[in-house]
């Protein structure tokens, strides 16, 4: 199989054996990757998946293609109020609930081809042991203090109630279904003791009062100066992605840091969680309490690693030789950049701390938000119900990864990504070349006259081709090393587009083979080797697609090269060409909008966004125009199928603008603190929203 293929040192990909545990090695690149532990009380939706687990998987797979020792750890976060509350709603125990949802998470991630080295859970004895050890170290080092707070208490249940076990009237807007942590009606963050006429979620007839309760707090204020010093150092060394902690100038901007950190609770009055240990023979009033979920959640990373290998400390107490990359949504940033690092510092041991932080904004759904309660959006393994292959899902989600701003999932965009990029660009290049080799060279790679190793151009066409391909290879590596995953994927598509252009400019066809067989052989040989390069570059994003390409090339998996080279030699026999992708009917967008639209009425045919055609730079304008027309036609057809009086494309476009601008206004209003600069931004955003609404109203009147 592997004859006539160059397998020089550095080009061969070392496939890790799962028989042996992956451990770091001094003097080598050791990469430790975590994705935010998903709560074990629900099913993940597409936004959750792209926000952490899929992004981390892409980066883990990339590092493996560079032959680095890579460990990717994740698992379900199983303790806390959210789990107890959901278990209560479903009438089962917290353990039964966690067993149920852990299975659903595993099933979902398996279908999305996520390559965890270990996917565990936090409800394990080792997790309890490591959490309690950290707690005791904080106490020993003087970083814990006891505070007495007023807390809601149920007279009927005879116990203190955590915030989510209390509901009542919101003191700000008067809504009667305010929760103990937040009012969904006005969005205000609440303390359970603020609720008017509080009710116990377990039994609403029980009387709820307030009583004093003692809890332990970690003294973040005493650790702040050391935490700030660590943040500035790590942010610079690891080139963190933009987030709410520190800006591009290295200035700390988190409101909690600027206002001064305060002691943060580490215990809760619950039964489902890590028991609070006795300190120096005294329970300090903590008997029967458990650790706060956000205290133990981040400890889940080392504890899950400990369940993977007894030598877990080689990863987690090895700052000199291990680089820790953590992936999460923006709402988890504080706990990974301020809270947990402060706990690590207070613990006093030489922890492996965060090197690079990769965060995402939110992925919204078809002009709104994912909503499990309204069954709106794609949740868990339901993606397979569409018949869209996993590889296409992975491609589309990474191509729309909300790296710097919120992004919108769109069925029209998803279909266009498959039809216009994967099928017409990437798949077309690979299929065209392989079919030509099979039909014209009897499946044998011809002799292009090149020696093994990097290509030397023979004419202007080759000079441009080799130079641009090598430049794009560098761009790909730079993007992936910087964890700019969306840019890395775009670069892969640029490379395949450059391959298509090379075939076009070289006039590859039967005539070229007859009139200039040497030149034809050279073009084919170089195109085959570009396909071999594309196979490894696409692996992090679409591993099944890589496997199909390698089968068709009849070649082994390779590592990422620095330059395009003659690695598949003349005489190598390729396999049977097959199409990597199939066209998706544009009208299916409306079918899926209805299927996943949920319980609330939704517009069945929103206008595709500006990048719905997923145009790759370098593609012809003719293809771009045709793709846009196809998308427009599909949207119009879907609208006609859905309603007897469809809205025009222009009206739909303005409605989309109004919806998006409304979201901008809501997000700005939700920010704190309300600085003069922010107030000015809010006013400007509202003015834009008003003008958009006026334009929409005028357009609707004109079309009556």
Do 216 and 266 meet the contact criterion of CB atoms below 8 Å apart?
A: yes
Is 386 a member of any domain? yes
Question: Do both 401 and 443 map to the same domain?
Answer: no
Question: Do both 173 and 85 map to the same domain?
Answer: no
Q: Domain end: 573, 601, 634, which one?
A: 573
Lowest mean pLDDT among 214-218, 226-230, 596-600: 596-600
Question: Do both 126 and 186 map to the same domain?
Answer: no
Do 243 and 311 meet the contact criterion of CB atoms below 8 Å apart?
A: no
Residue 281 has what pLDDT? 84
Do 423 and 560 meet the contact criterion of CB atoms below 8 Å apart?
A: no
pLDDT band for 348, please (50, 70, 90 cuts).
very high
Residues sharing a CB contact under 8 Å with residue 179, sequence separation 6 or more, in sequence order: 163, 164, 166, 167, 190
What is the mean pLDDT of the segment spanning 505-523?
A: 95
Residue 636 has what pLDDT? 46
Q: Domain end: 338, 373, 408, which one?
A: 408
Alpha-carbon span 586 to 604, nearest angstrom: 14
Question: Do both 164 and 257 map to the same domain?
Answer: yes
Is 654 a member of any domain? yes
Q: Domain end: 215, 250, 268, which one?
A: 268
- The three state secondary structure string of 288-336 is CCEECHHHHCCCHHHHHHHHHCCCCHHHHCCCCCEEEEEEEEHHHHHHH
Q: Is the peptide bond before 528 cis (omega within 30 degrees of 0)?
A: no
The H-or-E segment that residue 102 falls in is helix 94-111
Give CA torsion, residues 38, 42, 45, 51, to 10 deg.
-20
Question: Do both 304 and 321 map to the same domain?
Answer: yes
Alpha-carbon span 308 to 64, nearest angstrom: 19
Domain extent for 248: 141-224+238-268
Is 22 a member of any domain? no
pLDDT band for 663, please (50, 70, 90 cuts).
low
Question: Do both 540 and 446 map to the same domain?
Answer: yes
Is 580 a member of any domain? no
Residue 70 CB: number of other CB atoms within 10 A? Answer: 24
Residues sharing a CB contact under 8 Å with residue 500, sequence separation 6 or more, in sequence order: 425, 428, 429, 432
Question: Do both 459 and 530 map to the same domain?
Answer: yes
Buried b / exposed e over 506-518, threshold 16 CB at 10 Å, is: bebeeebbeeeee
Residue 456 has what pLDDT? 79
Per the structure, how many domains does the chain have?
A: 4
pLDDT band for 642, please (50, 70, 90 cuts).
very low
Is 288 a member of any domain? no
What is the CATH classification number for the domain harbouring 431? 1.10.730.10
Question: Do both 384 and 465 map to the same domain?
Answer: no
**Both tokens of residue 356?**
């690079």
Do 160 and 152 meet the contact criterion of CB atoms below 8 Å apart?
A: yes
Question: Do both 552 and 474 map to the same domain?
Answer: yes
What is the mean pLDDT of the segment spanning 157-171?
A: 86
When the pLDDT of each residue in the chain is averaged and rounded to a whole number, the result is 87
Residue where the block lists tokens 């603020």: 194
Read off the pLDDT of residues 39-74 as tens digits, 9 standing for 90 and up: 988 889 999 999 999 999 999 999 999 999 999 999
pLDDT band for 252, please (50, 70, 90 cuts).
confident
pLDDT band for 664, please (50, 70, 90 cuts).
low
Residue 645 has what pLDDT? 36
- Please give the share of the chain, as a percent, with pLDDT higher than 90: 63
Is 192 a member of any domain? yes
Q: Which is more confident, 458 or 130? A: 130
Question: Do both 429 and 560 map to the same domain?
Answer: yes
Read off the pLDDT of residues 466-475 as tens digits, 9 standing for 90 and up: 999 999 999 9
Residue 609 has what pLDDT? 39
What is the CATH classification number for the domain harbouring 349? 3.40.50.620
Is 626 a member of any domain? no
Question: Do both 57 and 86 map to the same domain?
Answer: yes
Do 210 and 193 meet the contact criterion of CB atoms below 8 Å apart?
A: yes
Q: Which is more confident, 117 or 600? A: 117
pTM of the model: 0.83
Residue 665 has what pLDDT? 67
Question: Do both 453 and 552 map to the same domain?
Answer: yes
Alpha-carbon span 67 to 465, nearest angstrom: 28
């Amino acid at each position: 199989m592997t004859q006539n293929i160059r397998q020089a040192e550095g080009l061969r990909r070392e496939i890790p054996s799962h028989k042996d545990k992956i451990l770091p090695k001094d003097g080598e690149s050791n990469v430790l990757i975590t994705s935010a532990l998903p709560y074990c009380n629900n099913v993940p939706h597409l936004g959750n998946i792209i926000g952490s687990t899929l992004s981390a998987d892409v980066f883990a797979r990339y590092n493996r293609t560079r032959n680095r020792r890579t460990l990717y750890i994740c698992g379900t976060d199983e303790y806390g109020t959210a789990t107890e509350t959901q278990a209560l709603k479903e009438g089962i125990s917290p353990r039964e609930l966690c067993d149920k949802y852990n299975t659903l998470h595993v099933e979902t991630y398996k279908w999305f081809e996520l390559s965890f080295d270990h996917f565990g859970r936090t409800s394990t004895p080792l997790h309890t042991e490591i959490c309690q050890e950290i707690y005791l170290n904080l106490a020993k080092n003087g970083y814990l203090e006891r505070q007495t707070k007023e807390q809601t208490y149920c007279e009927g249940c005879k116990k203190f109630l955590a915030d989510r076990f209390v509901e009542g009237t919101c003191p700000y807007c008067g809504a009667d279904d305010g929760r103990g942590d937040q009012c969904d009606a006005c969005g205000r963050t609440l303390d359970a003791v603020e609720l008017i006429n509080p009710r116990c979620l377990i039994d609403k007839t029980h009387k709820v009062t307030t009583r004093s309760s003692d809890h332990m707090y970690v003294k973040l204020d005493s650790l702040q100066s050391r935490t700030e010093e660590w943040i500035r150092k790590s942010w610079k060394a690891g080139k963190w992605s933009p987030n709410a902690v520190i800006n591009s100038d290295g200035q700390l901007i988190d409101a909690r840091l600027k206002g001064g950190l305060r002691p943060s609770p580490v215990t809760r009055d619950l039964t489902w969680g890590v028991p609070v240990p006795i300190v120096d023979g005294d329970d300090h009033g903590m008997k029967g309490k458990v650790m706060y979920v956000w205290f133990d959640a981040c400890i889940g990373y080392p504890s899950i690693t400990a369940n993977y290998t007894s030598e877990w400390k080689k990863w987690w107490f090895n700052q000199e030789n291990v680089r820790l990359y953590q992936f999460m949504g923006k709402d988890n940033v504080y706990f990974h950049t301020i809270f947990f690092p402060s706990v690590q510092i207070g613990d006093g041991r030489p922890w492996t701390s965060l090197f690079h932080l990769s965060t995402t904004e939110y992925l919204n759904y078809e002009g709104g938000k994912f909503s499990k309660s309204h069954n709106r959006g794609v949740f868990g393994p339901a993606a397979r119900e569409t018949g869209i292959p996993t590889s296409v899902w992975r491609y589309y989600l990474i191509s729309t990864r909300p790296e710097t701003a919120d992004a919108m999932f769109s069925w029209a965009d998803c279909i266009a990504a498959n039809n216009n990029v994967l099928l017409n660009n990437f798949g077309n290049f690979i299929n065209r070349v392989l079919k030509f080799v099979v039909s014209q060279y009897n499946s044998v790679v011809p002799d292009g006259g090149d020696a093994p190793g990097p290509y030397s151009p023979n004419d202007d066409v080759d000079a441009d081709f080799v130079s641009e391909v090598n430049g794009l290879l560098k761009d790909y590596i730079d993007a992936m090393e910087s964890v700019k995953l969306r840019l890395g994927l775009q670069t892969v598509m640029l490379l395949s587009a450059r391959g298509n252009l090379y075939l076009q400019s070289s006039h590859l066809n039967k005539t070229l083979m007859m009139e200039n067989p040497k030149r034809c052989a050279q073009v084919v040989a170089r195109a085959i080797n570009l396909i071999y390069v594309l196979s490894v570059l696409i692996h992090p994003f679409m591993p099944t697609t890589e496997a199909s390409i390698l089968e068709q090339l009849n070649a082994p998996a390779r590592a990422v090269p620095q330059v395009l080279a003659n690695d598949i030699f003349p005489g190598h026999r390729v396999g049977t060409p097959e199409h990597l992708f199939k066209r998706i009917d544009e009208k299916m967008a409306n079918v899926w909008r209805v299927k996943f639209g949920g319980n609330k009425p939704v517009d069945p045919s929103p206008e595709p966004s500006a990048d719905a055609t997923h145009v790759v730079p370098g593609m012809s304008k003719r293809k771009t125009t045709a793709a846009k027309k196809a998308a427009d036609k599909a949207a119009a057809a879907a609208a006609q199928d859905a309603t007897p009086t469809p809205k025009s494309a222009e009206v739909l476009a303005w409605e989309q603008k109004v919806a998006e601008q409304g979201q901008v206004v809501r997000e700005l209003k939700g920010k704190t603190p309300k600085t003069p600069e922010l107030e000015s931004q809010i006013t400007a955003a509202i003015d834009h929203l008003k003008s958009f609404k006026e334009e929409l109203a005028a357009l609707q009147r004109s079309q009556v």
